[in-house]
Amino acid sequence: MAWNPDSNNEKAETKEMDIRNLSSSQFHVHSESNLHKVAVPPKQNLFQEFKSTMKETLFADDPLRAFKDQPSSRKFILGIQAIFPILEWGRSYTWRKFRGDIIAGLTIASLCIPQDIGYAKLANLDPQYGLYSSFVPPLIYAFMGSSRDIAIGPVAVVSLLLGTMLSDEMDPKENKAEYLRLAFTATFFAGVTQATLGVLRYYLLGFLIDFLSHAAIVGFMAGAAVTIALQQLKGLLGIKDFTKNPDIVSVMQSVWGNIDQWNWQTIVIGVCFLSFLLFAKYIGKKNRKFFWVPAIAPLISVILTTFFVFITRADKQGVAIVKHIKQGINPTSANQIYFSGEYLKKGIKIGVVAGMIALTEAAAIGRTFASMKEYQIDGNKEMMAMGAMNIVGSMTSCYVATGSFSRSAVNFMAGCETAVSNVVMSCVVFLTLEFITPLFKYTPNTILAAIIINAVIGLFDVPAAILIWKIDKFDFVACLGAFLGVVFQSVEIGLLIAVIISFAKILLQATRPRTALLGKIPSSTVYRNIQQYPEATRVPGVLIVSVDSAIYFSNAGYVRERILRWLMDEEEQVKAACQPAIQFLIIETSPVTDIDTSGIHAMEELHKSLQKKNVQLVLANPAPVVIEKLHSSKFTDIIGDHRIFLTVADAVSSCSPKWVEEEV
Amino acid sequence: MAWNPDSNNEKAETKEMDIRNLSSSQFHVHSESNLHKVAVPPKQNLFQEFKSTMKETLFADDPLRAFKDQPSSRKFILGIQAIFPILEWGRSYTWRKFRGDIIAGLTIASLCIPQDIGYAKLANLDPQYGLYSSFVPPLIYAFMGSSRDIAIGPVAVVSLLLGTMLSDEMDPKENKAEYLRLAFTATFFAGVTQATLGVLRYYLLGFLIDFLSHAAIVGFMAGAAVTIALQQLKGLLGIKDFTKNPDIVSVMQSVWGNIDQWNWQTIVIGVCFLSFLLFAKYIGKKNRKFFWVPAIAPLISVILTTFFVFITRADKQGVAIVKHIKQGINPTSANQIYFSGEYLKKGIKIGVVAGMIALTEAAAIGRTFASMKEYQIDGNKEMMAMGAMNIVGSMTSCYVATGSFSRSAVNFMAGCETAVSNVVMSCVVFLTLEFITPLFKYTPNTILAAIIINAVIGLFDVPAAILIWKIDKFDFVACLGAFLGVVFQSVEIGLLIAVIISFAKILLQATRPRTALLGKIPSSTVYRNIQQYPEATRVPGVLIVSVDSAIYFSNAGYVRERILRWLMDEEEQVKAACQPAIQFLIIETSPVTDIDTSGIHAMEELHKSLQKKNVQLVLANPAPVVIEKLHSSKFTDIIGDHRIFLTVADAVSSCSPKWVEEEV
């Protein structure tokens, strides 16, 4: 494995170097032609370049791969299957799978019914709208979605977000009809947003979906959990005059300011059953065999407390009850959506935000369970399915539905096999709407509050936050910022903080890239960061600096000055130690992934400054785009083609061959 | 220079690899302990880490370097000198230098007087305010600034920007007094912004100054030049009812709609002298000896036309004249600045924008001439000086002043030595204000228009735009976007477009990083992009991919899927060619400068997907931050410490030593 310095490069290094005149020390430039030359990539014409960039940006996953070289009948079938994955997996559906799905479906149905009623309240809607949203959207999803484990329906965070944003526009009690219409409008546009993202390709608007970092999501979810749990204190304590502001300060003032409204009967029921639910959850976690215990505990609680209130007529003692849920399945609501007027714009705005948050949640769930069971889900199909189900939902009196964390986990553990479990759940909800809703009349609100608190506790992911703290302090700040924003202000502010901090991190990295000094790893030809590898040795007379980022306008000035500062520091040390002066500055450009016109200007200025100091600028391993731009800007002519090397080792050997030879 | 594979690493590679069980081909894992291990950098404690990060972000240029190890009396002197650089260079000032400065000062004074009167009109202010702004600010700058060549005063782009933003708030004719007060307020806060940026360190708010890419500035300036030139058509053609909208469509409608208002006498004077000015400019460019011709041509034109109008009383024929310039030096205006009320906020907003644009222009000028004469200018001192001069200016009836491109170039060519040339110019302006302003009464507006058109033509930098097109197509789009935004909408919109496109580029790069396949460069141990180096050979059974960016939430999903797609493509090809199947995927992580929690999740998912395909994930050369995070997230435990190598060559040799041995 000898490093053989012969090469096919004959052009470079053949003329005498003028640096010799500048240099008066022992170092001189290697003038033999034995080094690899940095290749300039073959020039593409503009159209090809544009085409390949667009393809990579928009169709990075090559969506038509399966359609290639197929007869047109086959293409048609593949196309239909692409829209309705059920046609693909449905053909291999078996009774054994159905058994799994029916058990899972019944389990998540028993969990979703009480949750739906509670979540509808978070969105300031009547309880039946929560049930409606667990009837139609899961059916649509089952035909179009590609995840096998996700459980579709209303979820806490999206309900809260929708409720907050809608009440900012109008009062949900005073303008009940308009509020409902605006909710359908927002749902419609949430669906349109999702479907559009699906059609326009995941990758075109990739950064709109990936606009939240993992850390920001963890913080946002935890904040939403706290906010939702706090709002449930209204139901749990039986307070009547509760604040409408979601922040922790207002809620705490409401709770302690209205201590006279606390209703002990309500509190006793709520706290007892909350303990029961938490205990059930604990059992389910302890032993996965008992996954069904936490799944059916909410329904059992509802049945028990409803029966209890009905028997004791505790509602006359001040225990608030659900009172009325409209019987019957979803009425049509297509004519209620605002397609013009002032509310159209508001509906679009709310819909876009809610749709994207819903998508973020669904994507995280889908990906998690897919990787557990090791199958692929298709981001585009998922978005199309979500979009379709919300568009249809908005026309059938549903509000924004998405994948629910808690129900999907139960679905998974109950052994679901395909999206048929969603169909089963949907059927149960249908039966509930048709026949059972009157029975909910005496269900106390406090039990719904307990169920919601129990459900959202899972969103408060402490281990994830600890891991984030361990891995990256800046990420933790993003996480904390999102959390505090949601808790102390509102969901929107928290979301805004999360987005801003997420992007600030990218921009900060583009403004202050790391630079490092490199040294030679003993007995190798490899040069690495001397902080990371303290055993690496410096090359006398040569300073090797790596720049850890694309050089753009945002950091060009900084990079230039930072490199000059490395040089000044080094020169001081060298002087103090009476070592030979620095004569070559090698920039390791492997991590420099791109350069723009400002960056090239900065390099030119750096070159000039170095010339004044009699230091020669040398580049090692520029990437294809970088070398291409250096060429077209003639910068390679300024520093000389023979100053650009394939590796740091080549560059060093050409700067001070004597030293290298001595070493070896 | 033999690559000697002995190493100080004893831990890695000593146990048998479980991959052997998976693998059935000729490749097996090298189990000898002869490779360098990737070092995890020494762990800093949190406080140290925070301190060093803050230091690097805020004080990257180590501003107190000169103060280190000095006695306190010396420190005091250095401190005073830091604020007033004149104390430093003033001591070595000579008569020879003064001769240069006085010639340069007189030359730029003759250029600035007619320009100032015209620029004040762009800002919708009376002509004397332009002259005021060429009297006080240059004096202040001479004491505090560090550039030797910059010529201070009002400039076209800032005047236009200020004029546009101020008239958006109120009508400059109806509310003349308030308009003037708001202008002073904006100037005050422009100064405060600049001084604050100087105090808070260039680097803290570095990205606020570097918020425009070079390309965006080129486009913006060209757009501003066109807008300013178009607005001069009012004066040049003698049109009375001219639009106030700056966009090209409105201006053209005004020009062709009011063809009956065209005044032939005005046009004749204007066009003749515009030709004269352009010819003078041409002569100055042709032969640098005649630099003074374009410099004094404007003043000569003003004198000639003023005299001509006075003699012929052409103003009675409809030739618009200046009429009145208030005699005497700057009155105080400190009491006119709004420090409360509704205009305070507007003043701050306008001031911040104008201050930053002024700073961008001054920084570009200062840097250009400093690099020509090879001296350093200090960004912080510059900002402090600019801030001080505008704050003092706002209290002495000046509006925002900065460095002017055209006058600085003349200053440079006239042989200025120090900022004393600004003092000379300031004295001439003082004399003008005291004694000569009444003589400007008959100066026709058309000559001022011609002078401004002549001045702003230089801002239209076609060669720079062509170079940008050659180097980077995306940068060219930013340039064009800014240009069209200014020309078809307004200066603010153009600015906004420039900022958005500038940042979009950074974000796009963070969303779609390049990935590439690597191959071995013949007779070396170096692996490089096979597109850039077509001679590079692939290693059978091993796929080597490089990822060209930090892996963040914004691209983690893309990177994962892109790598899997490289693998799928490769597997198809390998199958078709009946070559051995891919068993190792090596990721070259040299350009991966950072990773966040989302990135680590993506790597975990990638690892899982690869395991299913019986492909082993191997990492080469992770950076210090990356390896640290991989360690703290336990990802190194998941893939195994022995799967992380110092170089791609090490990684390849451990994956398939047989092949490498055969080759060598």
The amino acid at B97: K
CA atoms within 13 A on the CB side of A358: 37
Average the pLDDT over B165-187 and give the result: 91
* CA B528/CA A37 separation, integer angstroms: 12
Residues 6+ away with beta carbon under 8 Å from A477: A501
Give whole-number Cα distances, B635 to A157, A473, B16, B45, B60, in Å: 31, 18, 20, 22, 33
Give whole-number Cα distances, A196 to A144, A201, A296, A366, B137, in Å: 15, 8, 37, 19, 55
Whether the per-residue pLDDT at B656 is higher than 80: the answer is: no
pLDDT at B31: 38
Whether the per-residue pLDDT at A349 is higher than 70: the answer is: yes
Burial grade of B604 (CB within 10 A; 0-12, 13-18, 19 or more) = middle
Average the pLDDT over A374-383 and give the result: 78
Asked if A583 and A23 count as a contact pair (C-beta separation under 8 A), the reply is yes
pLDDT at A597: 85
Residue of B nearest to A526 (CA): B647
CA atoms within 13 A on the CB side of A483: 18
* CA B522/CA B504 separation, integer angstroms: 39
Burial per residue of A603-613, b for 16 or more beta-carbon CB atoms within 10 angstroms, e otherwise: bbbbbebbeee
Average the pLDDT over A640-657 and give the result: 82
Q: How confident is the model at residue A35 (pLDDT cuts 50, 70, 90)?
A: low
The string of pLDDT tens digits covering residues B72-107 is 888 788 778 878 888 888 888 888 889 889 888 988
Average the pLDDT over A264-273 and give the result: 92
To the nearest whole angstrom, how far is the Cα of A208 from the nearest Cα of chain B?
9
* CA B426/CA B102 separation, integer angstroms: 11
A34 at the B interface (CB within 8 A)? no
Helices (H), B212-325: 214-231, 233-237, 248-257, 264-286, 292-312
User: Residue A512 and residue B468: Cβ atoms within 8 Å?
Assistant: no
Average the pLDDT over B197-207 and give the result: 61
β-partners of residue A618 are A586
The amino acid at B42: P
Q: How confident is the model at residue B349 (pLDDT cuts 50, 70, 90)?
A: very high
Give whole-number Cα distances, A523 to A402, A536, A664, in Å: 58, 10, 8
Whether the per-residue pLDDT at A246 is higher than 70: the answer is: yes
Asked if B191 and B355 count as a contact pair (C-beta separation under 8 A), the reply is yes
* CA A223/CA B290 separation, integer angstroms: 71
* CA A216/CA A459 separation, integer angstroms: 13
Average the pLDDT over A280-301 and give the result: 86
A565 at the B interface (CB within 8 A)? yes
To the nearest whole angstrom, how far is the Cα of B7 from the nearest Cα of chain A?
8
pLDDT at A57: 60
pLDDT at A308: 92
pLDDT at A135: 94
Q: How confident is the model at residue A1 (pLDDT cuts 50, 70, 90)?
A: very low
Instruction: Tell me which of B479 and B656 has the higher pLDDT.
Output: B479
Q: Which of residues 608-627 of B touch A (CB under 8 A)?
A: 608, 612, 621, 623-625, 627
CA atoms within 13 A on the CB side of B191: 23
Q: How confident is the model at residue B243 (pLDDT cuts 50, 70, 90)?
A: confident
Average the pLDDT over B510-518 and give the result: 83
To the nearest whole angstrom, how far is the Cα of B203 from the nearest Cα of chain A?
8
pLDDT at B350: 93
Residues 6+ away with beta carbon under 8 Å from B36: A521, A524, A526, B7, B8, B9, B645, B646, B647, B650
Q: Which of residues 195-234 of B touch A (CB under 8 A)?
A: 203, 206-207, 210-216
DSSP B528-561: EETTT-TT-BPPTTEEEEEE-S-B-TTTHHHHHH
Nearest to A524 among B36, B512, B561 (CB): B36
* CA A54/CA A48 separation, integer angstroms: 10
Q: Which of A542, A487, A492, A480 is nearest to A517 (CA)?
A: A542
Average the pLDDT over A15-26 and give the result: 36
Residues 6+ away with beta carbon under 8 Å from B545: B515, B516, B517, B518, B563, B566, B585, B586, B587, B588
Average the pLDDT over A25-45 and give the result: 52
**Cα torsion angle, A466, A472, A478, A481, sign:** positive
pLDDT at B13: 38
- Global confidence as pTM: 0.73
DSSP A333-370: -GGGS--SSHHHHHHHHHHHHHHHHHHHHHHHHHHHHH
The string of pLDDT tens digits covering residues B296-309 is 888 899 999 999 99
The string of pLDDT tens digits covering residues A599-631 is 888 898 899 888 888 899 999 988 888 888 898
CA atoms within 13 A on the CB side of A367: 20
Asked if B459 and B225 count as a contact pair (C-beta separation under 8 A), the reply is yes
Average the pLDDT over A85-92 and give the result: 85
Whether the per-residue pLDDT at A395 is higher than 70: the answer is: yes
pLDDT at B225: 87
A-B interface: how many C-beta pairs under 8 angstroms?
283
Residue A529, both tokens: 């960061």
The string of pLDDT tens digits covering residues A181-199 is 999 999 999 999 999 888 7
For A251-260, A341-350, B30-39, B576-585, which range has the lowest pLDDT when averaged over its residues? B30-39
Instruction: Tell me which of B400 and A240 has the higher pLDDT.
Output: B400
Asked if A482 and A467 count as a contact pair (C-beta separation under 8 A), the reply is no
Q: How confident is the model at residue A67 (pLDDT cuts 50, 70, 90)?
A: low
To the nearest whole angstrom, how far is the Cα of A56 from the nearest Cα of chain B?
8
Whether the per-residue pLDDT at B285 is higher than 50: the answer is: yes
pLDDT at A41: 63
- CA-based R_g, chain B, Å: 32
* CA B143/CA B419 separation, integer angstroms: 8
**What order do you get walking across the sheet with A584-588 strand by strand?**
A527-529, A515-520, A542-547, A584-588, A616-620, A644-645
Domain spanning A19-44+512-663: which superfamily? STAS domain (3.30.750.24)
pLDDT at B44: 64
Average the pLDDT over A50-57 and give the result: 67
Q: Which of B11, B9, B13, B6 is nearest to B32 (CA)?
A: B13
Instruction: Tell me which of B554 and B194 has the higher pLDDT.
Output: B194
Give whole-number Cα distances, B609 to B390, B551, B606, B653, in Å: 61, 18, 5, 24
Average the pLDDT over A346-353 and give the result: 92
Q: What is the ipTM of this complex?
A: 0.75
A48 at the B interface (CB within 8 A)? no
The amino acid at A551: I
Distance of CA A282 to the CA centre of its chain: 29
Asked if A643 and A616 count as a contact pair (C-beta separation under 8 A), the reply is yes
pLDDT at B494: 84
pLDDT at A484: 93
Asked if B326 and B128 count as a contact pair (C-beta separation under 8 A), the reply is yes
Instruction: Tell me which of B136 and A362 has the higher pLDDT.
Output: B136
When the pLDDT of each residue in chain A is averaged and rounded to a whole number, the result is 82
DSSP A49-61: HHHHHHHHHH-TT
Q: Ranked by mean pLDDT, which of A506-510, A652-656, B226-230 comes out on top? A: B226-230
Share of chain A above pLDDT 70, in %: 87
For A333-337, A391-395, B2-6, B641-645, which range has the lowest pLDDT when averaged over its residues? B2-6
Residue A520: strand, helix, or coil: strand
Q: How confident is the model at residue A61 (pLDDT cuts 50, 70, 90)?
A: low
pLDDT at B423: 94
In degrees and rounded to multiples of 5, residue A645 shows phi and psi of: -120, 165
CA atoms within 13 A on the CB side of A307: 6
Strand pairing report for B644-645 and B616-620? parallel
Chain B residues whose CB is inside 8 A of the A367 CB are 605
For A5-19, A348-362, B40-54, which range has the lowest pLDDT when averaged over its residues? A5-19
In degrees and rounded to multiples of 5, residue A529 shows phi and psi of: -50, 120
User: Residue B550 and residue A214: Cβ atoms within 8 Å?
Assistant: no
Domain topology for B19-39+512-663: Transcription Regulator spoIIAA (3.30.750)
First-residue to last-residue Cα distance in chain A: 15
pLDDT at B10: 37
Residue A518: strand, helix, or coil: strand
Residue of A nearest to B593 (CA): A548
When the pLDDT of each residue in chain B is averaged and rounded to a whole number, the result is 82
Q: Which of residues 169-188 of B touch A (CB under 8 A)?
A: none
pLDDT at A318: 83
How many other CB atoms are there within 10 angstroms of residue B249's CB atom?
12
The label of the residue with tokens 């106390």 reads: A444
* CA B507/CA B505 separation, integer angstroms: 5
* CA A136/CA A155 separation, integer angstroms: 15
CA atoms within 13 A on the CB side of B103: 14
Share of chain B above pLDDT 70, in %: 87
Asked if A595 and B475 count as a contact pair (C-beta separation under 8 A), the reply is no
The string of pLDDT tens digits covering residues B460-495 is 888 889 988 888 888 888 889 989 998 998 878 887
Domain regions of chain A by residue span: 19-44+512-663, 94-507
* CA A133/CA A543 separation, integer angstroms: 66
Average the pLDDT over A299-321 and give the result: 89
* CA B537/CA B534 separation, integer angstroms: 8
pLDDT at A267: 92
Average the pLDDT over B508-531 and give the result: 83
pLDDT at A420: 93
Q: How confident is the model at residue A329 (pLDDT cuts 50, 70, 90)?
A: confident
User: Residue B533 and residue A39: Cβ atoms within 8 Å?
Assistant: yes
The amino acid at A448: L
* CA A376/CA A371 separation, integer angstroms: 8
Interface-testing mutation among A205, A547, A553, with chain B (most B C-beta atoms within 10 A): A553
How many other CB atoms are there within 10 angstroms of residue B331's CB atom?
11
Instruction: Tell me which of B71 and A584 has the higher pLDDT.
Output: A584
Chain A residues whose CB is inside 8 A of the B592 CB are 591
Strand pairing report for B616-620 and A515-520? unpaired
* CA B477/CA A621 separation, integer angstroms: 28
